[in-house]
Structures are given as structure tokens and as C-alpha cells.
Structure 1
């Protein structure tokens, strides 16, 4: 309702995210209308509701779409699209001057003729908001009455579904459910199926599954003198709505537990999951990282149970959560409802890798009960989750904590061994006492509010510990130049330099794109299952597939010995005698350096006099850094795939056909993994069609990976020494050269030495001052000449627009007033070299056919979602002077990597052989085609761009390594919680584009001690969600930028890295604590690393007590 598309032509990238986002937004609007109409006297008043409820609508939108992960868009265009029906969340202020960002912005520049010309910049003008119909609940689709009638009839009958291994039963009444439970005591009760479905991935299943979702007694909601009674089948989203409605109606002192529950009900999973997970299922699952159970337990919640033998009640306490037999549910019993009592002082805490969509690292529920009418402590309960396999109670400590120093007692009782499952042991220990300290302060603050004359108000230093990091509604502005404003002579038909619709946008948003999984299976089609090793660096003694081959449906097995040709290129497709890679590795960078295990020759660059620079230095700093470099994945190197498969099957390349219409996003994958050749052999061997689509965990296990990076540095006048490591020769050489050549960034370092090796390992790949910036025409560290004029334009334009100095002053003032919260801000310029140091990477071909009547067929590079189809449309339309509707595409094999896809393919589609006829018939395209046909001029053209000439002589350390450079400046402001390491990105200003927030703050890969990769999906490998993007995001594209190499200014921006702001916040904490400022922070800056870097009394407490190790 209220939208046809959420501005999809500009907000889409892949075919997976937009349809689900559109459905989620539709669901959000339906819920908003339901809640809004409940508080309006009539539907006619609804038209004015959005004006008064815009903030609430935005809150619902953020709640709902927080469950959608999108790797491609960065979420900003998605948020922008919502303004078409939700309005602007607030008015952004540019430059801190109070000027609204939606006001017309003008600047003056010099035109090519030397005169003055005004340039109009566009802000939020990609579409006309009046094109979208207003929200109107009366126009919502009516749910089919027949289906409603059928659903009501089904309430009176038992539904039974029989599968090959499982029978699914849905009883309509509590009586029938209890009978079935007595008959099948081991049958699980499944409502949302979010916990039990995971077990299926491990090969376990249940013969009988009971689905008690239609039983009225399990959906009851009532209020009693003791608290709220909630049915066990109520989903978590319903529980949240119930509590939101109940809290304002109750005295504040009775709602502490409900407020604690509400705080956590906004964080687990997304709204889609919260709408399925039941309260009873969440309780019975008893997961250690489940956030609600510790709160319900300390709140003395009561479970109402029923069976054929009768009814009874039990406490939801620590013994129940630990599975003690005398406090547990019996096999024939079911939970009917849960009583959540009113309570005084209850607090809840959690810390996860990400603010939302992440399981807790540690969670806790704490309760303090005072004697009636006094401030004397009568009872204390503390429970922790995430410490062991079950939720743990600090019972002994609670008895001793009354009147005692709390922290050390808890550390003694809640023991966490050094080898505890999940790692992060030291960090989790500090969270135990950090949570307790925060609860202690909450109690003192509460007592001051109740007894203001007896208890003093908390100091600002202590109050800063109580303020939680909350993410608001993201908002932003983008300002850019349109070509027609600079070139008045541009034809209205010429689309170059104008924003046009993304060619796949509408299909993305409506779900009409046909993905590989949408292709219907054909007769005899096989599915592929991959067997991986559970050990890294293991010797293969034998492989016995006899038992697997006896399973019905299994046709064959394929191992390395079956591959007739090459078993991969420089990496093995299938392990032969030894498993070099499981999901992870057992040896790393230091091992490779120690044994000189290098896979390429050393790459070295020197500039100036290193020794002289060190001798004249006032101070020398040395250290080590570790990092991971991520490369994209999916099949956008089709030529490589064809060569790989051909060599594995001993076939000629012309017998291998590979088609890619477009590629969506990637999830931690790689371009050149050799496993494909083994998959194709299955088809070659059996002669039957083969379909293989990995589930997320297998995809990350087989195709995922990072370049581990290990560097030693020694700096006076800036010296840097680095070593890069990996296990693939194909990318090892290119990546090490890439790093060595880019190490100077935008800084002119007088004395510099860089030496790099690509090493053989068992791991998969994976207050800047103006004084140091390049100025004018200069030489890079590898002696390539370039002009830094645009770098300084970006720098000066950025300082003007971002209000950096005022922002910096505000950050410093905040840090002086807050001990446990710190803000950081950093401004970083960037010089980005386009492409790779290899000419052959830049070549591209295209074929253009012009048909009689005017239609044009073009082959071009592979679409990755970045809009190369759309850009090629613009180029062809401009060159041939024809409407966009005349042009159509078909796929090709031209690779698309290293930010050069548009340039090389655009060069290839430029055609010139119709120039003479175009001059004679300048305005009539059809006449041009007719005349060309009469003159027997070929209407087909082969375009080939041989690439930019690049070269580097590593002996002389000179050359032309890259075709050209791009420039930009970015500034990010962040806030961190020193007690937990939680952080949020407050604001980002860029004159270009920003990227890699996930790479530098979230995306960490974990391995078991045996080398098994543990991060295999969204539960463990966290990519940025909507809660991680900047609250304010301002993008400015540099106007009047000229680039003689890039076609039609195809490159205006490229990624910048928001890494330096967080260390700035950590440095503020270190400075206030009197600690040295030369600390080390390795990437990614996870909550664990941030917290441990902000050394405080609690981190030192954990480190000092060796008995805990």
C-alpha cells in the first residue's frame, strides 16, 4: 500500500535483496496502519496520520528491515527510497550553518570559455515524489474471504502431513495436543521451527513433529495482580507489542522487567524471525546465548504446564535452565502459558558482535529486591549466558555480595577456562564484571530517584556508563553534478551524464528476475553434495565411499583420482595425498616467514635515503600489524573458468560453453577457486545434467577466504615494511604488487622502503596533515608521474562541506565529560590507483549489430550489479545518437574486476565507421541505417580495446604501473562504549564513496584449534546491517573533475576506508587513563578488540588474576 516500488531503479544491485526488502516494507506498512488505525476514530483521519506519526513509522521501518542483510547497496539507497511514503526523518544540516540540505545549492566555477557559470546540484531529485500514490488503507488488497472461511473450518480439524521420514501433526485443541504428547512423548513441539530446523543440518530428524499453533489456550494474554500471563505460542513480536501497550498503563516501579525484555526484544534476529519464534520455544530451547531466559529467570517467572495427568506450575529458574531433572518439564507435559511478575530492580545486558542480528557473546539478567518500604537488600539474583553450555547463576556470590565488593566474587564463581568454547575468553571475563558494574550504577541511580535526600546523584563520569549506544534513523544527502548543466548543448536524447533507470531495477524490486535456482529441473538432473575434511593439513590414507553409494538416490562419487586432466591450477580442486586446507589452516604468516616459504619473488620499492632519515629522526616507532584483505567472488572471470574446466577434462576450450547473464552479490568468496573443475567432471562422467547451489555455510567453506596480512613497520619520517601471505600463486603475485605499489596512498613520503613477499601458508587468501600530502605534479614511490590537483580539490571541498573542525571540537568536549563513552573522528585522503599492474587485465571486446529498422544488439562485459549494462546503454546511445529503447544486450565473457569494467567495455563499444554517414544525416538515425545498407556498409562492428599500457620494472623500481589515479577524502565520526567495546558510526562525510565498514569493524574469521573454520554463515560471520551504517551520511561528488583517460568521466569515486576514527576514540580513553598512546589495534576492530584496548579497572582485574586461566 502506498507504493508501487520504493524507488527501485536506483536502490538495487542484485536480484536477491530487493524483492525481500519490498515484502518487508509492505509488512512494515501494514503493521503501521494497524497500529495507527487502532488509535484513530475513523479511517478518514488516516490521511493525516503519517504527518503526526512519521517518527513512529520510521521506527517500525527500521525494526522490520533490520532483519534484511544486503551486501551490495550499503542500505543508504534503501533508506532513501522509504522517504517516498514515510517522508524525511529530519532535515539534514549542511556545513553546520543551519542551512537545510534540501535548499538549492549553487557554486560558481569557471567555464571552458573563461566566463562564469552556475552549476546546479541535484539533491534527492532522482524521481518525483508525486508519482507515488499516497498510503491509503482502504486500497489495501482484501484477503480472499474463501481462504478465511477455509482457515476457520480447519480450526476444528486435525491437520496431518506425511513425509518420507517425518509426520507433521497440527492439533486444534489443547486436549488433543495432550493426548498426542502422551502417545509421542519424544515428539518436539514446533511453532516457528527456528531451533529444530538447525538440527536437520546435522543429520538428525524426528519421526513425529507436533505443531500446536492453533490452540487458543497457548495464545492467551491476560493481566493479574501478580503480573502478565502470556501464552506460550505467542511469538516474540507479539510479546513486544503486548509489553509496549502494557508498560505505559502500569506504575513505573512495576515495569522494570518489561522494560528489560523490550530492550532485548529489539535485538534478536530480524522482524521476520521474531514473528515466528514463540515464547515457549525460546524458553524450552534454553540456548546459552538466548537473551530472554536470564531476564525471565531472575524475574521469578512461572511456567504453567499441562499434561493428561493434570496441571502444575514450576519456576523458570537457573535449575530449569540448567536442565536439572527435579526442576524440568516432564516428557508428557507442555507449556501452556508464562507468568511474568511485576518487579522493582531488574536489568538486562547483552553484548554481541553487532547491535542486531547477532547472538550474544555474553548476556545477563540481574535483579535486586529491597525489603518493603526500605532500601535494605532482601534478595539478589545474577544470571549469565554465553559463558557455558547453559545459563549460569552466581548463587554463592549473590549471598556474599550484599554489603561486599561485588566484582571479585563473581569472577571467582563464574569460572571460564582458557579453552572455553567460543574463544574470546579474556573479553568474556571482563564482560562479567562490566555488566555487574553497570547494574550497580543502575541501582544507585534508581535509589537516588526514590530517595533523593539519602542517595547522591551519580557523577557525569558514572552516568556515562549507563547511556546505551542507540542507533537512530539513518539519513543522508548526496550532491552531484549533471552534465547538461555544464554542457547546454547536450542533446536531450543523449543520456550520458544524466541519472537514468538501472536496467534491472524494476525486475529486481518485483522479483521477476530469473535466477539459477528458478530454472526448473530437467529429467535425470543430479544434485551435488560436497564432502570436506574436518582436519586441516591432514594426510589422506584412504577414501571409502561404499556406504554412501548404498544410500538410495546416490549415483556416484568423484575424488581427485578421477580427474583426467589437471586437478586445478596452482590450487588443488580436490585434495590428493594431503589436505592443505580444511575450512581453515594450521600454519600462518609467521610460520611461512620463519621457513622462507614464499611463492613469489620479493617486490621492493625504495625512495630517498632511508638510513639518513632514521639518523635525523627525533623518535623511531616500530611495530607489527595484522589484517585480512578481502576479494570478491562469483563468476566474472569466465575465461578462467573455461580454461580451468578444459584442462581438468582434457578438452579443447572451444568445447566448453559458459554463460553468465549477470552476477549478484558475493559473500566472502573468491574469483578463482578451482573447485569448479571437479564439479564439471561429474557431468562429464555421468552424462547427466548437474545442478549445484551451495548453502551459505558450504559456500563460505569452499569458495570463501581472505588474504592474511602480516606487516612489520619502522617509522621516523614514515618508513613501512610489509609482508603479505597467501596460498594462491594466481593472485599472490598480483596482490603483493598491488600492496607494495599502493602503500604511499596520498602521502609524499621522502624516505621510503617497502619490501613484500607472497608466502606459502596453509591459510586461504584473504590527524593526517596537509604537509605530507602530494602536491601538484609529483612522482609516486614507484616513480610514476601524476597530477595531485584533484586530490587537493577534494581536500579543500571536503573541509568546506564537512564542518570538520567544529565536529572535532564537539568530539573533544564530549570526551572530557564522559569517562565510559568516547567519540573519535578522523579525516583520511586517498589516492586510488585504478586496475592492476598488468596490461592484459584491461583488454575488452564487444560486438555491435545494427539491424534494418534501427534495433541494436550489443555484447558487453559481465554485469555485477554495479550497472555496467546501464552505462553501456548510455555510451551506445550517445555514440549512435539513438534512443535507449533501440538497444538490447546479450552476454559475453569480458572480465570485470579492479574498478575498470566500465572503462574497458565502454572503449570497446565505441564505433566510428558510421561517422561519414552520420555527418550527412546528422539528425535522422533511420536514414543513416538505410543509407549505410544501400552503400553496402557493414552494420556489424567488432570493438576491441587492447587495454591501458602499464608496466613496472622491479629492478629499476620505475614504470607506469597504473593507467590513472582517483582521489577522495572521507571523514567518519564514531562512538564507542569502553565498558563493552560496542560502537556505532555516527556520521560519515565523503567526497567520493565509502566502503569496507564491515571489513574493518565486523567481519572476522574464526578457526578452531584444529584448523576448522567456524564462521560459516550469518550467525557467526557478521556483515554490516542497517544498524551499522552512519546515522548521517553526506556524499559529495567533486564537480568539474577532468580525466583525460577515463571515458565520459566514468570514474568519479572509489572506496575509502573508515578505519582511523575508532582508534581515535580508543586513544581518547587511553589518554584519560594515563596510558601510552602507541597502542596496536589489528583489523577488524571488533567489540572485543575495542574493549580490551580501552584498558580499565575491569580489564586489568581479569588480567591480574592468573588463577582464572
Structure 2
């Protein structure tokens, strides 16, 4: 019987050819404002789980897929489903709130029990989730799957051929015909290589639905899993096996599950296959070290027959004698049960807990044969410490026959450090940290096994925490539109995928596209720039250079002018050299790669502020006289004003336009609330048009946390102007409706349009004496955080954070709390995770999500409480509110200082009481190396200058 499988996938990775016969569901397909919205879309919007909305479609589809498979999911399933999604704005808490309304927990208690009453959403107010009303699988595809003859499908392109065999025989024949062609299942390994490394495969083989590749066999010795099973399927299979078998047999499966829970995100795990993960043999693979120590074997097949090879160090090093032959394919993997007195553990440490490659990982296994504690077998393998997975085979051999005690541990650490060596210039850097992890993992394994041997249960591993919701002061809300937690005006459009972003806008007629060519040197003289090849490409219109911008080749905001294009001398990697203009974005980027620049490196390389300051130090400066007082040079002019335009239509509806730009902060929503209060009409009557210079010209910049503050006063001014004009009309018919009043005003030729303007706050600051008040208000906040650290690995857990923020009288508490939480999580990432790594040549390594990590849902505090401080005074601001923005970013440093205190406590336990200097971001590497112990002292150190480091501190 055919079964339907629902799974999320990365659109940027999954090949179109692999979707033959599949039904692809997108966020636009499950619901829209034009038909009906899906409960997932509604709840994520109503629970304020969207700000800029860029991540919202992905969040919606991850939750939707989870609900198709599990209509009443558990909290752990929810965390797992969202592990591959990232959000920069919300801090994740409101997204979790939306998800929890579908969980079993939410049936017993209201999801917003910690939030003041006006922010509560009764479950009855949500659209019900009815599985019978979901999209059905297209009948024509079902018929095709049941009745269409199975035969190999071939898709021919201009440069590549995609072959999808549907039987094992056809697969083997295809592999004989194209022995060098890669076998692709999820495209999670080959895809990035093609896109980022330029590797070209003229033929790709992708098996489709071959039963022999998806087997699940239980034998007397272990479990056999098909190579085509996705990692998500393997995870589910292992979870079921653990429930059925004795615990002593399933330790290996427990360890695999531990790594599968943190390996990538659910989208990748649903695409990537077990066989592909193994055969790719990436040096930082999480599963291969564990499978290698577990005596696993690989079942291979070719036209010549079957054979079996061990998954050992020789295979992982791609030794010809232990590798697959070109015409062979991996059919399945045998994972043995463990014996009594045999123990296995898995370890990994990464920049964040989930969805990131490990810095170092390890699999360790020991077999005693009895309760005497004498080592009979020992296997240890590491990932992330070499070009391949490294097995400490010689060290393990020397430890056989030793008793499991501290003397053995000390000897094992020294043996392994000698065998598993890491050069000072190793790719990836963090060399001393990685050396320390090698033996720290061994110590953790020693402790775990020792506790089991003593019939003690180790409590080191816990399920990922689930956040508690925020709270705020219940006295905050007045009984009018201002002060209510109104849903983000664009929330539904974000959730349905209908919101239009720049990339969604179609090109206009004769539109051109520009791509910059940037410097590849940190400090160099440009010898020559050859544009000929780039200009010869079709679609290229011109290439802009410094010569074209003579006299205007600079830009500035508040600082001194800076060159826009530099074709003479460059001072950093990434400096703009020239710009290619073409009729399409693709052609512009392609031509930019064809611009040939010859440099002559100059000394010194400009990598630090100190070096840069030597280039522009006092001896390099010249004196410039200005006709301005020196103490006012930083006072910007023409800032702090705002304008708005408000129309009333004959049907009683209102259209508001203003000069602020909606970036997710909810300024449009707040402007409607302002108009609703001033005009004393329902929110449903008021509409807002997107910001445009056609309606509000010469608008101020949107930034500095003052957009709603300033534009709200302009909207207020316009509304009051209209009300003043309409006072005679309203006084004649006080019981009338806005439709009546608008018609009456129209009949009497009274204007139903008004502009509003706010000139900015007046400063009474005397800059000469330093007395007075330079600004109308300040935003204050405080945060207290509690953390735990693992002094052996450098990992930390955010247990609880309490935030109090002074926002005056909040116009929209839901939006303001969202800004506070999002800013705090950003700050937490800034101070603990988000590290920039530069090469010795000044190239930034951390340029994308694979290298630069931001907080994920697993990194937020287990408990997060936000309170809004009751306003202590009325001000001249908009309804006594304060502009907020993401001013709470700095509060993330409370996590930094909590970790610093924890590190100090760990050091004091070891008798280290001296001064401690820790720089942000406080990454696992810095935490671990600051917790000095015998292991940090045991590792070898490289003499400075004896090697070229992979990265340099900036």
C-alpha cells in the first residue's frame, strides 16, 4: 500500500528533477487572504510571531508539515521541527506561542497565561485545525504512482543529464555505464559543491523509490538500514527500536539519536540520506566517528555481486583497498547491538547547539567483558581534527588490558594527544581549543562509564529546554486603541507569503542591474584593471569606475567623506573597485567575475585599528578651519521632523500615509492606532498605504528608534486638523456615523484631506556649559540572566532572563515586547555566538550561514520574562510613549557577564584567583580555555611565529 510522506525541504537545495511525481506545497498553497487562511498562518500572525516577515513562510511550512504528520505534536517535536529555521527579529518566543496552541499542553492551559489579560487569545478565537480539510494529494499523481509502468527517467539539459533508475537492476546498469557519476539522494553534499566550489558533473544518478535501498531489517546481531533512508527516517526508526529492545543493546542507537537531534535542521535531515552521509566522508561528520567505533559494516553491490566492508579508518580515509569501486553502490548499513559490559557515547561541540557543523565531535566505545573494569576492547574516533575522520587506533591498542581508573585516563590523554595531532595552521583555527576538546571528551566518557559501572545514573544530558513566556504590567493598557496589543498590520500577509519584498518585484521595462566588483586584498596598489572580457559578455551595458565619478566619488553620513569606488589603492578586502551594469542580475554577477584586477601588495596589511590609525595618525593629518563652533559639529541638521497625509472618504473610511518605512517594527500598525484614537473610529475603518514619495515627499530617515515617535505626531496633527474642520458638522449631528459626516462635509465643500507635520523636539541643551536636556527622553532597561557552563567543553545554557524596560506608555505592548525580546536575543548572539574570523590576508571567512552563526530556537533562555516599567511622568512625546526600536540589544551582555561569573567560579574551584580578561563574543572556545585545568595544561603549544595561523584576531 502506498503511504503519503510529508516533509519540509530547502528550496535552494532540492533538485527539480527529484520532484517527479511529488506534490510540492508552498506557503501560498495552504492558504491566502483571497480564499481562506490556514490555522497555522492565522495563529503565527495573531500571536505576534512576525515582524519583518522574511522568515515567516519557512516557519509556517515547518509547523504545517509537523501538523500533517502529527496533528497534536509534543513540545519536543515542535522544537525539533523548528530547529532548522532562523529568525532575527522576534527572539522566537511568540513563534513558540503560536506553535504551542497546537500542542497537547495548550488544551489544559491557556498559552498566554503569563501575559496580561488583554494579550490573551482564547483558543475558541482561533480557526480550528481540521485534518479533513487539508490539501489532498493530487489524484492524477496517485494514479500515476499506482499504474504507470516503472522505468528509468532521463532528463537531459544543455550541460548535464539527470538519470533516475527505479529498479536496482537499472541502477547497477547505469552505474556501470557512468562509473564516475555521483549517486545523489538529497543533494545536500553534491549541491553545495556544484554551487560554491564549481564542481561539474555531466551525469548525475538519482535512485527513486528502489525498495532494496530503503530496507529496515532486524537481525540477531543488530539492525540493517537501507542507504537511501533519510536521516529523519533513521531517527524515527532508532527511536522505535529503543522502545522495543533492552537498554544494554541500544546504547549505540541512543548515541546516534543524540547526534541526529543536533545534526543540521529538519529540512536537511529529511533530504540527506544515511548512505550519502557515510559515503561523503566529510571530516566533520557527526555520524561517521560513532559508526566507526561501533563496528558497523557496509553492504555493497555491483554487477559482479555483493561484498561487505567495515566502516573503519581505512574506509574513512578513502584507501583504495577499503573503498567503494566506481561501479559499486552502497545498499545498506549494519549497526550491531551492544553486548553486556559494552558502552558507547557520542560527543560534539559546536558554535551553537543545533544546526551547525561541529568544531570537534567524537565517538567512543569500550568493552570490559565483565565487571572487573579491565579494558578488553577500546575504540575512539574524532571528527573535525583532520582532513578525514581520525581513529586513535594505536592509543586504544596500548590501553587494552588496563584497568578503568584515573591512571589509565592520564595515560590515555597523553597517548591520544601524541597520535591525534593538530598543526598550528590547521584549517578552521581554534587549534588549542580543539586539542583540549580531544581529551576533554575522553574525560567525559571516562566519567560516564565510571558512573555506570558504579550503578550510578549520569545526569549530564537533558532534553532541550522549552521557553517560558514573557510578561508585562497589567496596568499598562488604557481602554482605547492606543495601548492594545494589536496584531502586526502585515502579519497575515507575511504568513501567507503575499507580502512583497524587493526580490519579489518584477523588473520594469529597460531596468538595469548593478553588481559591485570588490577588492581581494587588504592593502594593495591597483596595477591594472582589465574590463574587456566582462564588457564583451551579452547583456552588459557598461562598467562604472572611479573615472566616471570624477568629483562625486564619495559618500558620507556623519563622518568624513569616504571614497565610493577605489581603482588606485585599496585598504581592505571587499572595498568597492568598480560596478558592472547589465540587463539582468545574473549577467551582472557573471560579468563581475570576469573583471581582471592585478594588484601589488603594500605593507603593512591593514587588519587592525592600530594599523589603520598609523595610516591616518596625527603625523598624517592636516589642519582644517571650519566656520562652525567645534562643540556643535556632531549636531545633525534637518533631523527629527516628520510628515503625514490623511484622507477621509465618503464611505467613512480613512487612508493614512506617512514618511516612516515599515521594517518589521510595526510602525504602520501604530500609525493606525494613533489615527483610530484621534478620530475616535474603529481600527477596521482605517487603512494605510505603503510609504511613497508621491504622497509624503522629503521624508526623514527611518532609524534611530524614533520612526513611530515622530511620524505618529505628524499623523496626530493631520487627524486633529481634520477633526477641527469637521467639528461644525459633527456638532450638528452628534449621533451620526462617519459616513454621514463625510457626506455632509463633502456637500458643504469642506476638505476631507489634511497634511500633518512635526518639526521635531526642541532641545534646551547649552553645549557650552554642558547644562540642560539634549533629548526629550531616554530609554532605560535592565536585564538579569542566569546561565550554566560546561567547563570541559565550553558549552553554556541560558537558564533564565528577566528584563525590565522603560517604554513610557506603550502604544502597542505586543510590538514593543517583540522588539525587546528580539533585540535581547540579537545581543545575546552578539556577545556569545557571532564571531568574525579573518584570514591572515584579511579575508572574512564568516560570510554566510554555514560559518556565521546567529542564535537558533535552541539557544534562547529556558525562561524569558519581560516587564514594561510603569511610566513615572508624562512627557511631550506621543501619548507619553517612547520610541523603542531594538534598543535592548545591549541587554544581551547580561548573558556575557553571567558566563564570565560562571567561568570565574570554575577557576576559583581550581585555585585560580587572578584577574581574568574575556572578550566578546564569549564563544565555547573562550569559555573552555578560560576554565584552565590539567587538560588545558596538557595540550602541546606552538611557538608564535613557527606557523601561519588559519585566522588572526582582529
Shorter-chain TM band = 0.7 to 0.9
Match of 1:442 among 445, 448, 455: 448
For residues 243-301 of structure 1, give each alpha carbon's deviation from its aligned partner in whole angstroms, at most 9, with x where no partner exists.
Answer: 00001211222111111100000001110110000011101111111100000111111
Q: 2:101 aligns with which of 68, 73, 84?
A: 84
Question: 2:439 aligns to what?
Answer: 433
Paired position in structure 2 for 1:942 = 755
CA–CA separation in structure 2 for the residues paired with 1:692 and 1:122: 54
Instruction: For residue 5 of structure 1, give the secondary structure of its aligned residue in structure 2.
Output: helix
Alignment pair present for 1:990 and 2:796: no
Sort the Cα spacing of 1:1077 and 1:79 in 2 relative to 1 into closer, same or farther, 3 A. Answer: farther
- Whole-Å Cα distance in 1 between the matches of residues 41 and 509 of structure 2? 39
**SS of match in other structure, 1:842:** coil
Is 2:779 the counterpart of 1:979? no
- After TM superposition, give the deviation of residue 1017 of structure 1 in Å: 1.1
Q: Measure how far apart 1:234 and its partner are.
A: 0.4
Task: Give, in angstroms, the shift of residue 482 of structure 1.
Answer: 6.1
Deviation string 1:225-251 (CA, Å, 9 cap, x unpaired) is: 221111111000000000000012112
Instruction: Report what 1:1035 is aligned to.
Output: 866
What displacement does 1:331 show? 1.1
- The DSSP-based 3-state class of the residue aligned with 2:142 is helix
Query: Hey, what does 1:775 align to over in structure 2?
Result: none
Corresponding residue for 2:8? none
Greater Cα shift, 538-547 or 901-910: 538-547
CA distance in 2, matches of 1:927, 1:360: 67
Q: CA separation of 1:239/1:938 partners in 2, compared to 1, >3 Å: closer, same or farther? A: same
Q: C-alpha distance in 2, partners of 1:950/1:223?
A: 78
Instruction: Determine the structure 1 residue equivalent to 2:329.
Output: 334
Counterpart secondary structure, 2:665: coil
Measure, in 1, the Cα distance between the counterparts of 2:539 and 2:303: 42
Shift in Å at residue 547 of structure 1?
3.9
Residue 323 and residue 1043 in structure 1: after superposition, are their counterparts in 2 closer, same or farther (change >3 A)? farther
Residues 166 and 384 of structure 1: is their aligned pair in 2 closer, same or farther, counting only changes over 3 Å?
A: same
- Alpha carbons 2:185, 2:206 under 8 Å: kept: yes
CA RMSD of aligned residues (A): 3.4
Counterpart among 174, 181, 185 of residue 180 in structure 1: 174
Aligned to 2:405: none
Q: 1:913 to 1:168 in 2, by over 3 A?
A: same
Give the SS at the match of 1:1045.
coil
Residues 197-596 of structure 1 aligned to structure 2 (within 5 Å): 197-199=191-193, 200-343=195-338, 344-371=342-369, 375-402=373-400, 403=402, 404=408, 405-449=411-455, 467-468=460-461, 470-481=463-474, 485=478, 494-521=480-507, 529-549=515-535, 556-563=542-549, 566-569=552-555, 570-583=561-574
Count of matched residue positions in the alignment of Structure 1 and Structure 2: 823
Structure 1's 915 and 14: CA in aligned 2 closer, same or farther, altered over 3 A? closer
Change (3 A) 1:217 1:1007: same
Contact in 1 for aligned 2:41/2:60 (Cα 8 Å): no
Q: Which moved more, 1:548-557 or 1:500-509?
A: 548-557
Compare 547-556 and 61-70 and name the one that shifted more. Answer: 547-556
Query: In the aligned structure 2, how far is the partner of 1:90 from the partner of 1:865?
Result: 31
Q: 2:681 aligns with which of 852, 864, 882?
A: 882
Question: Partner residue of 2:666?
Answer: 867
CA contact 2:358–2:384 (8 Å) conserved in 1: yes
Q: Aligned with 1:368: secondary structure?
A: strand
Deviation at 1:902, TM superposition (A): 0.9
- What corresponds to 2:835 in structure 1? 1004
**Residues 1:65 and 2:58 are matched in the alignment:** no
| Whole-Å separation in 2 of the counterparts to 1:27 and 1:693 | 37
Which aligned pairs between 1:110-125 and structure 2 lie closer than 5 A?
A: 122-123=116-117, 125=119
The SS at the match of 1:160 is strand
Other structure's SS at 2:788 match: strand
- What SS does the corresponding residue of 2:520 show, helix, strand or coil? coil
1:565-714 to structure 2, matched below 5 A, reads 566-569=552-555, 570-583=561-574, 682=581, 688=583
Greater mean deviation of Cα atoms: 210-219 or 559-568: 559-568
- Cα distance in 2 for residues equivalent to 1:985 and 1:936: 63
Query: Alpha carbons of 1:356 and 1:164: their partners in 2 closer, same or farther (altered >3 Å)?
Result: same
Structure 1 residues 1048 and 139, CA, compared in 2 at 3 Å: closer, same or farther? same
- Is 1:1045 aligned with 2:876? yes
Out of 1089, 1092, 1095, the residue aligned to residue 929 of structure 2 is 1092
- Aligned twin of 2:701: 895
> 1:914 and 1:549, CA in 2 relative to 1: closer, same or farther beyond 3 A?
closer
Superposition deviation, residue 1041 in structure 1: 4.3
User: Which digits, 9 at most, give the CA deviation of each residue in 1:772-811, with x for residues without a partner?
Assistant: xxxxxxxxxxx9xxxxxxxxxxxxxxxxxxxxxxxxxxxx
Which segment drifts farther, 419-428 or 12-21?
12-21
TM-score normalized by the length of structure 1: 0.69
Shift of 1:195: 1.0
Describe how 1:183-198 pairs up with structure 2 within 5 A: 183-198=177-192
Q: Residue 129 of structure 1: which of 123, 132, 136 is its match?
A: 123
Give the CA deviation at 1:1048.
1.8
Query: How far 1:1072 sits from its partner (Å)?
Result: 1.4
How far 1:335 sits from its partner (Å)? Answer: 0.5
Give secondary structure in 2 for the equivalent of 1:965. Answer: coil
Residues 336-345 or 1073-1082, more deviating: 1073-1082
**Compared CA separation, residues 840 and 1072, structure 1 to 2 (3 A):** farther
Rounded Cα–Cα distance in structure 1 between residues aligned with 2:867 and 2:373: 57
Query: Which position in structure 2 is the counterpart of 1:112?
Result: none
Task: Provide, for residues 14-53 of structure 1, a one-character-per-residue CA deviation record: whole Å limited to 9, x for no partner.
Answer: 23211211111011112224xxxxxxxxxxxxxxxx5xxx
Residues 375 and 399 in structure 2, CA contact (< 8 A), matched pair in contact too: no
SS of 1:913's partner is helix
Per-residue CA deviation, residues 513-536 of structure 1 (Å, 9 max, x unaligned), is 122222345676666554433322
**Using the alignment, how far apart are the partners of 1:398 and 1:759 within structure 2?**
62
Give me the whole-angstrom Cα distance separating, in 2, the residues matched to 1:1102 and 1:530. 45
Shift of 1:340: 0.9
Deviation (angstroms), 1:965: 1.3
Secondary structure, in 3 states, of the residue corresponding to 1:1051?
A: coil
TM-score by length of 2: 0.80
Preserved contact between residue 540 and residue 579 of structure 1 (Cα < 8 Å): yes
Q: 2 CA distance for matches of 1:338 and 1:572?
A: 59
1:847 matched to 2:838? The reply is no
- Residue 377 of structure 1: SS of its match in structure 2? coil
| 8 A contact 2:75–2:103 mirrored in 1 | yes
- For structure 2, list consecutive stretches of 5 or more residues without a partner in the other structure: 1-37, 403-407, 556-560, 594-607, 622-630, 693-698, 806-819, 948-954
Quote the Cα distance in structure 1 between the aligned partners of 2:534 and 2:177: 34
> Does the CA-based 8 Å contact 1:401-1:409 persist in structure 2?
no
Kept in 1, the 8 Å contact 2:470–2:864? The answer is yes
Question: Distance in 2 between the 1:381 and 1:693 partners?
Answer: 53
